[in-house]
Structure 1
Amino acid sequence: MDQIIAATEPSGLRETLPIAVREFTEAAISANTRRAYRADLDHFLLWGGSVPSSAETIARYLSVHAERLSIATLARRLVSISKAHTSRGFPNPVTSDLVHLTMRGIRRVHGKPQRQSAALLVQDVRRMIAGFGDNPTDLRDRALILIGFAGALRRSELRAINCSDIARVPHGLLIQITRSKTDQEGNGRKIGIPYGRTVACPVLALEAWLARAQIGEGPIFRPIDRQGVIAETALSGEAVAHIIKRRAKAAGLDPTRYSGHSLRAGLATSAAEAGVPTWKIKAQTGHRSDAVLSRYIRDGEMFIQNAASVL
């Protein structure tokens, strides 16, 4: 394990650096990313790999696991192995032609379309919240689903919202997203949540939940136990995903098709279907590039002026 930890540190000279420098270099990589690097490298080392390694060894590692691991997992392992070499000043065998050709061949032989969580479209969201009561759990879940959809929020962003992140304005709410998956430096961004034109209004749903739960500070989305006691802490990301799956199932949808990402994907797809310009969708979702967003845009626009509509 010591070899794994040393290989994934930001610098091979870590022990000689001043404490303050060590702290900042460690902060450059998130804890989750650091754990992923170590787990991936652990697998490589336990198989018989080493750091430094040769291109031939890495190519053989890939070929041995080509049928056992997904292509996405193999690609992530290469990133971790690459980081282990560059962070310690070793030549990087991952960039070799041999490794690139091996991965290209694996993709051609074993490649499959990446499975994505289904998008919860606006009609699905309305179906999910239909019949919700005024008990605390229903009020919380209604607000969580509608705010998550309207804000195109990741589950990590949704659970992290605090009362201090919300500002009431005449047109609805401004929510400060302090940190997200693509904003590790914590620059933050603001999103607007307008009043809805139907009973599925995210602003009113959130106000109803906060009033009932008497939440004036701290996390806005919290666990509720079987006795109806509302916790002081925030929901976990897993709990957010569980709520979405459970409510999807209750609405007659297949819960295995949905995840914590489904609300975010649903807003992007539904907005594209409604003809909202790409730049406006991008402003709400926070996508930095068009590459990922374009998948949702294509899905949403697939039936707009479809050539088969002449039938």
Structure 2
Amino acid sequence: MDTSPDRYLRAARRASTERRYAQAIAHFEAEWGGLLPASSESVVRYLTHYGDQLTTSTLRVHLAALARWHQQLGFSDPTKTSRVRDTLKGIQALHPQPVKQAEALALRELESCIEKLTEELGNPVHAVRLRAARDQALLLLGFWRAFRSDELSRLRIEHIQLRQAQGLELFLPSSKSDRSNRGRVVKVPALKRLCPVAAYEAWLEESGLTEGALFRAIDRWGHMGQHALNANSLSRLLHQVFLRSGVDPAGYSAHSLRRGFATWANANQWSSKALMDYVGWRDVQTAARYIDGNAPFGEWAR
């Protein structure tokens, strides 16, 4: 068992953030040829060089990585000067870019996928049935709870309680919006169709799992991995499901489940507060990015 203090420092930082920061530092040093510790003028030159190549959101991540590198090693932060801030503002003004978003998964596409997976559940090959049961539970839990990919990958069986005639209670130990890692309990409803609770039970029955990571890799022979699926692999997994179901996967990612539910809830007259509370959003601006607003033109529409 690792008893060093570093394990707590590592636990305080999200793995995905660590990877992005490491890539940003490597980009500054190896790709651009920058020297660390850096001066504010070198940071300005770096931003200027990539101002028309990288998005401003990517540049902000790189600045955050540089800031933390300097702070952790006791150097003054070169990213906080007015010249750096103004350069970034200028880049945003001269090179505006639309925010790229995953396509929202519509209910009809979800139904097509579940129909195909239900068919595969009757396959005599164990590996096919196992993968279908996992994918069905992943899609339906991800959609109806609007989970992020990292939240899906972190689900553990011992953190899930089945409440008869009610649904599931899941404990999420951490998430993107839970910076203090306090965790939260969320409920998953039992539904008349496309039921995430029934899919969860079917997955446990088919897999025989009783503890540990809920969603795991499965090889071609039906052998399950011991560890959780990597969050970065979920988009590829969903693309495979879409292709088998006759759904064009272009534009979709694991985030399509979250956007799909938000769009469905909005179309079904959920209030902004109800939707924000259910999904876990903190502000209306965040929620608005996930919802495809409809502007009805009535008889004027073609």
Fold agreement, TM-score > 0.5 = yes
Q: Which residue of 2 aligns with 1:62?
A: 47
* Cα distance change of structure 1 residues 239 and 272 upon mapping to structure 2, 3 Å threshold: same
Q: Note the C-alpha offset of 1:145.
A: 0.5
Matches within 5 A, 1:149-188: 149-169=143-163, 170-188=165-183
Aligned AA for 2:38? S
Deviates more, 1:93-102 or 1:83-92: 83-92
Q: Note the C-alpha offset of 1:164.
A: 0.9
Which of 196, 207, 211 pairs up with 2:191? 196
Matches within 5 A, 1:1-311: 20=5, 27-46=11-30, 47-131=32-116, 132-133=118-119, 134=121, 135-169=129-163, 170-198=165-193, 200-297=194-291, 299=292, 302-303=293-294, 306-311=295-300
SS at match of 2:169: strand
1:58-79 alpha-carbon deviations (Å, 9 max, x no partner): 2111111223333222221111
SS at match of 1:205: helix
| Pairs aligned (count) | 286
Q: Note the C-alpha offset of 1:90.
A: 4.0
- The separation in 2 between residues aligned to 1:225 and 1:92, in whole angstroms, is 47
Aligned-residue identity in percent: 32
Query: Is the CA contact (8 Å cut-off) linking 1:287 and 1:293 kept in structure 2?
Result: yes
Q: Note the C-alpha offset of 1:85.
A: 3.3
* Cα distance change of structure 1 residues 40 and 243 upon mapping to structure 2, 3 Å threshold: closer
Aligned AA for 1:97? S
Q: Note the C-alpha offset of 1:238.
A: 3.4
* Cα distance change of structure 1 residues 307 and 152 upon mapping to structure 2, 3 Å threshold: closer
- The separation in 1 between residues aligned to 2:252 and 2:216, in whole angstroms, is 21
Query: Is the CA contact (8 Å cut-off) linking 1:40 and 1:77 kept in structure 2?
Result: yes
Q: Note the C-alpha offset of 1:49.
A: 3.3
SS at match of 2:216: coil
Query: Is the CA contact (8 Å cut-off) linking 2:173 and 2:183 kept in structure 1?
Result: yes
Aligned AA for 1:191? V
- The separation in 2 between residues aligned to 1:31 and 1:214, in whole angstroms, is 29
Q: Note the C-alpha offset of 1:51.
A: 4.2
- The separation in 2 between residues aligned to 1:196 and 1:151, in whole angstroms, is 12
- The separation in 2 between residues aligned to 1:293 and 1:248, in whole angstroms, is 26
- The separation in 1 between residues aligned to 2:68 and 2:200, in whole angstroms, is 43
* Cα distance change of structure 1 residues 237 and 84 upon mapping to structure 2, 3 Å threshold: closer
Q: Note the C-alpha offset of 1:257.
A: 0.7
- The separation in 2 between residues aligned to 1:226 and 1:25, in whole angstroms, is 38
- The separation in 2 between residues aligned to 1:264 and 1:72, in whole angstroms, is 21
- The separation in 1 between residues aligned to 2:19 and 2:205, in whole angstroms, is 39
* Cα distance change of structure 1 residues 38 and 295 upon mapping to structure 2, 3 Å threshold: closer
Structure 2 unaligned regions, length at least 5: 122-128
Query: Is the CA contact (8 Å cut-off) linking 1:30 and 1:184 kept in structure 2?
Result: no
* Cα distance change of structure 1 residues 232 and 57 upon mapping to structure 2, 3 Å threshold: closer
Q: Note the C-alpha offset of 1:33.
A: 2.9
- The separation in 1 between residues aligned to 2:101 and 2:85, in whole angstroms, is 25
1:220-251 alpha-carbon deviations (Å, 9 max, x no partner): 22222222233443222233222211122233
Aligned CA RMSD, in angstroms, stands at 2.3
Query: Is the CA contact (8 Å cut-off) linking 1:51 and 1:84 kept in structure 2?
Result: no
Deviates more, 1:266-275 or 1:208-217: 208-217
- The separation in 2 between residues aligned to 1:186 and 1:124, in whole angstroms, is 34
* Cα distance change of structure 1 residues 29 and 229 upon mapping to structure 2, 3 Å threshold: closer
Aligned AA for 1:178? P
- The separation in 2 between residues aligned to 1:211 and 1:261, in whole angstroms, is 27
Aligned AA for 2:171? Q
Aligned AA for 1:208? A
